[in-house]
Amino acid sequence: MRKLALIAGISVAAATLSACGSSGGVFNRDRPDEFAVSRQAPLVIPPDFSLTPPTPGAVRPQSVSASQQALDALFGGPQQRSGVEGAALDRAGSPDAAIRSQVGDPKTQITDKGATTRDIVAAPEGDGQDAKASVPQ
């Protein structure tokens, strides 16, 4: 029984390693060369030779802080606002600087949404098969 297992193991290993060969077989077919598909563009000398080399230690003119780069990437940087957007922002006014501190303050006025909202928030999660809607008359 051990000899049979040894012979089976050697034959499986030989079959597996034979697939690593690079000549002949089912997998040897003509394929396109991905590097021969497109040509490399030739190097071109820039036409503007009036550029001055940078001064060592000078601040780069195009350097922007990381936070400003993130804001520009998210919101597109400073742009012209439409008339409607400008009017809405003017009517909204400037935000209160301490708004985050006031939200958790017990003296902050809140609106009681009632028992229905609490029931909706506390409702068990389900697939909606037993959901019913009724309109009070």
Residues 6+ apart with CB under 8 A from 96: 102
Amino acid sitting at position 82: S
Model pLDDT, residue 45? 75
Please check whether residue 131 is in contact with residue 124, taking contact to mean a CB–CB distance below 8 angstroms.
no
pLDDT category at 99 given cuts 50, 70, 90 is confident
76 DSSP 8-state letter: -
Q: Supply 113's token pair.
A: 């949404």
pLDDT category at 22 given cuts 50, 70, 90 is low
User: pTM of this prediction?
Assistant: 0.23
Is residue 25 scored above 60 in pLDDT? Answer: no
CA-CA distance, 60 to 53, in Å (whole number)?
Answer: 12
CA-CA distance, 113 to 122, in Å (whole number)?
Answer: 13
